[in-house]
Structure formats: structure tokens, C-alpha cells
């Protein structure tokens, strides 16, 4: 099958629930939805120390990709991207403003699964004392408040704090056990990311 025919075949696929959740978690974190012809594609890039992590994401998204993750020497990282896809284009219209700034679409109130939260955490989370935090520097305060509300639906209480780069969600120590139970089944599948959990 030619490259073009293969890409066109992929564009006709409907995203599975897993592909959808990996995409949402990645866009909340380090992933981007960038222009690819008439549509948008998901682009992922992670440092070489987290090679297993991008391979894990690729495993879940391989139906939508033409190539495997490739090493980027100048960044000492690995990068992979899906083909441009109509469903990703639809997500782009919800996750980005007209000015290309990331936002949290309110229609996703009931769509964030434990898997997407785990990916968001693996992308932007870190240990802090006896709990964890998640950097949310690219989002407005209104969006961060909305993310805090979504976490509360999982009975996870958060505070909004600020560092030198912007806001972050701080998981309250008393809620860390609930948060860990929620994300650990996914995090333990990626040994190189296990250090983020307390």
C-alpha cells in the first residue's frame, strides 16, 4: 500500500476509547495538536530518559501512526506523530482557542478517565513532600479551577499554588492515597515514570 493510501485509510478509522483517552491526557500535558494538511495530528516528544514512556504511548496510538518514535539528536529526545485525522481536528477546535492557546473544554467534564489523568500526571506531574503536584502553566486560572473541580469529582482535593513559571495543582496530602490508587495501574506500566509517585 502506498504512503498516501495508507494515510487515507487511517483517516477513515474511528478513534477507540483508549486512543481518545491517550490523546486527551497528552494534550493536557506535553502533547500538541498541530496542522497536517487539511487536518490536525497529535505530536508527542519526550526526553530520551523516558523512551519507554513514548513507546508505551505509541503502543496505544500505533493504528494512527505511519512511523515509530524516532530519536531527535538535537533535543536528545524521541518524537512520534499520528497522521492528520478528522477526529483530532475536532479535538483541536475544542482544546485550543482561535489564537492557538490551550484551553480546557467544558464538554470534557465527564470524559477524563483515570488513564487520561495518569498520562497528564506522567507528562507534567512531580513529587512534592508527601504528595504530588501537576504543572498547569499553559492554562488560564479559570481552566485550572475547572481542572480542580474535575479532580474533586474523583474525591481528590487540590489547592492551586504558584511557582516561578505559573500555576500548579497541589494534591492535598490527605487525598494523595486516592490519587495514587487512581493513576498507579497506568503508571506502573511505564517503569521510567514510577519515580513521580511517592
3-state secondary structure 1-63: CCHHHHHHHHHCCCCCHHHHHHHHHHHHCCCEEEEECCEEEEEEEEEHHHHHHHHHHHHHHHH
Q: Looking at residue 12, what is its pLDDT?
A: 85
pLDDT at 28 over 60: yes
pLDDT at 1 over 60: no
pLDDT at 171 over 70: yes
Residue 196 · residue 187 · CB < 8 Å: yes
Residue 156 · residue 178 · CB < 8 Å: yes
The pLDDT tens digits for 34-63 are: 999 999 999 999 999 999 999 999 999 999
Cβ contacts of 73 within 8 Å, gap of 6 or more? none
Q: Write phi, then psi, for 63 (nearest 5 degrees).
A: -60, -25
Mean pLDDT across the chain: 93
pTM: 0.94
Q: Looking at residue 109, what is its pLDDT?
A: 63
The pLDDT tens digits for 145-170 are: 999 999 999 999 999 999 888 899 99
Q: Looking at residue 82, what is its pLDDT?
A: 97
Domains for the chain: give ranges and CATH numbers.
3-97 (3.10.28.10), 114-196 (3.10.28.10)
Burial of 129 from C-beta contacts in 10 A (0-12 / 13-18 / 19+): exposed
Q: How far apart are the first and last CA of the chain?
A: 48
The pLDDT tens digits for 87-136 are: 999 999 999 999 999 999 887 766 789 999 999 999 999 999 899 999 99
Amino acid at each position: 500500500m502506498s504512503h498516501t493510501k495508507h494515510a487515507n485509510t487511517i483517516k477513515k478509522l474511528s478513534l477507540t476509547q483508549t486512543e481518545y483517552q491517550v490523546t486527551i491526557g497528552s494534550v493536557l500535558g506535553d502533547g500538541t495538536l498541530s496542522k497536517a494538511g487539511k487536518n490536525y495530528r497529535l505530536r508527542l516528544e519526550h526526553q530520551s530518559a523516558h523512551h519507554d514512556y513514548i513507546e508505551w504511548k505509541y503502543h496505544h496510538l500505533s493504528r494512527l501512526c505511519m512511523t515509530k518514535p524516532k530519536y531527535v539528536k538535537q533535543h536528545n529526545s524521541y518524537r512520534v506523530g499520528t497522521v492528520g485525522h478528522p477526529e483530532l481536528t475536532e479535538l483541536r477546535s475544542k482544546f485550543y482557542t482561535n489564537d492557538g492557546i490551550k484551553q480546557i473544554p467544558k464538554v470534557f467534564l465527564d470524559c477524563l478517565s483515570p488513564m487520561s489523568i495518569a498520562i497528564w500526571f506522567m507528562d507534567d506531574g512531580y513529587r512534592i513532600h508527601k504528595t504530588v503536584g501537576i504543572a498547569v502553566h499553559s492554562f488560564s486560572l479559570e481552566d485550572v479551577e475547572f481542572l480542580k473541580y474535575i479532580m474533586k469529582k474523583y474525591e481528590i482535593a487540590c489547592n492551586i499554588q504558584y511557582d516561578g513559571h505559573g500555576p500548579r495543582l497541589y494534591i492535598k496530602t490527605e487525598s494523595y492515597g486516592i490519587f495514587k490508587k487512581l493513576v498507579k495501574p497506568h503508571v506502573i506500566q511505564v517503569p521510567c515514570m514510577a519515580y513521580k509517585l511517592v
